Structure 1
Amino acid sequence: MTRFLHTADWQIGRQYGRFAPDDAIPLAEARFLTVERIAALARERGVDAVLVAGDVFDAQTVSERTLRRLFNALAAFAGPWVLIPGNHDAALAESVWTRARRFNCIPPNVHLIDRPGVQAFPDIGLAVLGAPLTQRHTHSDLTEPFDTLETPPGLLRVGLAHGSVQGLLAEEVDSANPIAPDRARRARLDYLALGDWHGLKQIDERTWYSGTPEPDRFKSNAPGHVLEVEITAPGALPIVTSHAVARFRWHEQAEMLSLPGDVDRLGEALAALGAQDVLSLTLSGRLDLAAHQRLQALLGEAAGRLRSLQLDAEALRLAPTEEDVEALRADGYLGEVLGELRRRQEGEDEVAREALTVLAALLRERQQEVNA
């Protein structure tokens, strides 16, 4: 029996440009911490090897310090790590991998398959058939040679590849780096470990994407896992178990708000999230002054509590009622300005929308001071 972990798409060195630095730095750091958790899991589970199906690094130009930190993060598991380059870290003539070798920072138990072929590990009953990317994109199926590659008798045949299984992924997936959907059957593989698709996905009984172990986008396709694969003997079906390892949880939510109760329900949803959550929140609708101010308070509290709150409220309108306007006592010139801003907001004037929000808040604060 042989057991190994299957993981991929670590994307070490990824930059989070859409986030503020206070959020971007912890999100990038989490990728190192997750690799450390994978190493600890491999040791705890007593697996024979860890297979990494490409995109260990997010770019060819990561710093020497990043290279060394990544390989140091593997230290908890002393068994073999088997890696292939993916499209982000392809094995070019000069690449992140040639630099890593030049810096002499790849440990002896890390086996990089940077050219197509077979790497045998007879002591653990495993032969890995590698299909590394030697350029960022190719339109030929690099796993096709698996069909004719010979492996030592008695060893498991496990494929390791990075690309897009044709016809079975979402339509928007790039067609570059294609992989035949029946490759495992054609090549008599006991298991085909894939990378490139960032979510956990089973293709058939012997073919899986592990997904990225640390989410990096707002997509509900089950990221944040590694797979433990157990195969009792050549030809036996693999037993696959997923393990959650992600540090942060990413959520995407859209809400239409029109009544005070809508704001209260959103507040309850926000209260269920905490410091390990990254939320992209899109708001639309129309709220009166009291509900709008309640919303602003809830969003402020959430922004301080969550790891990151990415807010899009461009389609949300402040619509003061006549009672709101009367309560603000915005008579005379202020009343005229308030009325003009309300009209312009209806015409999709973003500046007017922002100005209306600010003016209404100032008037309400003034009124509260007068009543205090």
Structure 2
Amino acid sequence: MKFLHTSDWQVGRTFSFVDDDTLGALQAERLEVIRRIGALARAQGAASVLVAGDVYEHETPTNRTLHQPMERMRQFPDVTWHLIPGNHDADTPEGVWARLAREGAVPENVRIHRKAEPVLIDEAQNAWLLPAILQRRHTLADLSAYMNDAPTPPGAVRIGLAHGSVVGFGNAEEGEHNPIAPDRAAQAGLDYLALGDWHGFCQIDARTIYAGTPETDRFGTGGAGGGEVIEISLPGHGAAPHIQRHRTGKYVWRKFENTMLTNAQDIAALESRLRGILPDNPGAVLAWLEVSGLLGVDELALYENTILRRLGGALACLRVSGAPQLSAMADDLDRLGCGGAVRVAAQTLLDQAQDGGEQADLAREALQRLFVFWQDTQGARP
């Protein structure tokens, strides 16, 4: 038996740190990846796709958002899609799943599982799905526990599908909600346990895996392992599953911590590093820089133009935390002329910055902005 395992589509998700154009592109790609999953299932001969929760980002999406993933799945009638609620789209009385049922909007090839009971999903292979159903965002009970005693015919292939936190994995606070025993597959005699909630690929044991989100949606742990779908082959009950990871995400998310800039060579190296993530398509890169350091007047202008302006236009998103500080001396003020209001203001700011005190940092930042602005107006941008 062969199927695909995915989770955490979170259709309708917003990203507050990007502009409107990038937000629209990211949201569109969370839908487009469903088409890539369907095409992958078809190409690999997988008759089913198991979606381990969080199809939607919210329990109350707009009507358009509600129907969009259903219509993408409808385009692959030869693939059966098995969905369960997650903590973002729990099966509440007025939630997404109840709305879809009322409107009769679920395609024939999509099966939404809302009861915790074994379901035959492949008669030829005697394969049964055991879904765990979240009816609220958080629960302290292990909803996968029923799988231990859930009856299936002799020799059946038993596949668990759940959304939650494996006990002892992730941070302690997350582990308190929607817990799943780490040895659930062994306790329940499962041939495979498909999990959702963690946004990066993570294998708990030979039969227990988080697939992660198919389109990466965060920096850090999720960003490092997201953007994939898992192909599972099960020779039969008791046999070890064969696992193959497939890249499905378009966007690449990278975080660069503790980036120290002290000269033009550092700036050039940073530019090369960022452009090298996806040389053929930098527009599919989201980068988060944590920047510090001390730069002279010319190097600061180079940083502004090369990193913030040019790379900011090349990448899908350039998020910057911190900034290099300006290293300016009295001689640097000669660039502003011998007199005039700008020179006087710059001298005042430099004196305040060098004197220290509560206003020193503010004065240093203002002087930095003044030099950058001045070089822009003089056409001296590197």
How has the CA–CA distance of structure 1 residues 366 and 72 changed in structure 2, closer, same or farther, with 3 Å as cutoff? Answer: closer
5+ long unaligned stretches in structure 2: none
SS in 1 for 2:256: strand
Task: Pick which of 293-302 and 349-358 moved more.
Answer: 349-358
SS at match of 1:229: strand
CA gap 1:296/1:366 in 2 versus in 1, 3 angstroms: closer
1:289 aligns with 2:287: no
Looking at structure 2, the residues matched to 366 and 85 of structure 1 have their Cα atoms a distance apart, in angstroms, of 56
Q: Of 310, 329, 347, which residue of structure 1 is paired with 2:319?
A: 310
Per the TM alignment, residue 233 of structure 1 is displaced from its structure 2 partner at its CA by 0.8
Report the residue type matching 2:246 in the other structure.
H
Structure 1 residue 243 and structure 2 residue 246: aligned? yes
Counterpart residue number, 1:364: 375
SS at match of 2:271: helix
Distance 2:10 2:359 in 1: 40
**Alignment map for 1:220-239 (pairs within 5 Å):** 220=221, 221-239=224-242
Shift of 1:171: 4.4
1:127 aligned onto 2:140: no
Q: Is the 8 A contact 1:39 1:77 kept in 2?
A: no
Partner of 2:3: 4
Shift of 1:344: 4.5
Distance 1:144 1:110, change over 3 A: same
Give the letter for the 1:268 counterpart.
Answer: S
Q: Which moved more, 1:208-217 or 1:147-156?
A: 147-156
Match of 1:145 in 2: 146
SS of equivalent residue, structure 1 residue 66 = helix
The answer on whether the counterparts of 2:47 and 2:78 sit within 8 Å (CA) in structure 1 is: no
Contact 2:206–2:240 at 8 Å: present in 1 too? yes
Note if contact 2:4-2:229 (Cα within 8 Å) is conserved in structure 1: yes
| Matching residue of 2:262 | 258
Q: How does 1:300-339 map to 2 (within 5 A)?
A: 300-313=309-322, 315-329=323-337, 331=339, 334-339=342-347
Structure 2 contact 301–375 (Cα < 8 Å) conserved = no
Residue-by-residue CA offset, 1:84-111 (whole Å, 9 max, x unaligned): 1010110111210111112221111211
The range that moved more, 37-46 or 360-369, is: 360-369
User: How many Å separate the matches in 2 of 1:167 and 1:27?
Assistant: 32
TM-score, normalised to structure 1's length? 0.93
Of 11-20 and 183-192, more deviation after overlay is shown by 11-20
Structure 2 CA distance, aligned partners of 1:342 and 1:156? 74
Does the 8 A contact of 2:6 with 2:229 survive in 1?
yes
Counterpart code for 1:152: P
- How much has 1:316 moved relative to structure 2? 2.4
- For residues 94 and 266 of structure 1, do their structure 2 counterparts lie closer, same or farther at Cα, with a shift above 3 Å needed? same
User: 1:218-251 deviations in whole A, cap 9, x for unaligned?
Assistant: 1234011010000101000001111010011111
Change over 3 Å in CA distance of 1:211–1:344 after alignment to 2: farther
1:48/1:124 contact within 8 Å kept: no
| Distance in 1 of aligned mates of 2:359 and 2:205 | 50
Once residues 87 and 111 of structure 1 are traced to their aligned partners in structure 2, the CA distance between those partners, rounded to angstroms, is 19
Match of 1:155 in 2: 156
Distance 1:127 1:165 in 2: 22
Structure 1 residue 280, shift from structure 2 partner: 1.3
TM-score w.r.t. length of structure 2: 0.90
Counterpart AA for 1:312:
S
Provide the alpha-carbon RMSD of the alignment.
2.0
Counting matched residue pairs gives 367
Match of 2:328, SS state, is coil
- CA deviations 1:102-143 (Å, max 9, x no partner) are 222111121111121111122343100010101110001111
Counterpart Cα distance in 2 of 1:291 and 1:172: 44
1:34–1:366: structure 2 CA closer, same or farther, 3 Å change rule? closer
Given that 2:261 and 2:294 are in contact with CA atoms closer than 8 Å, whether structure 1 keeps it comes out as yes
CA separation of 1:119 and 1:301: change in aligned 2, threshold 3 A: same
The answer as to whether partners of 1:67 and 1:105 remain within 8 angstroms in 2 is no
Aligned residue in 2 for 1:89? 89
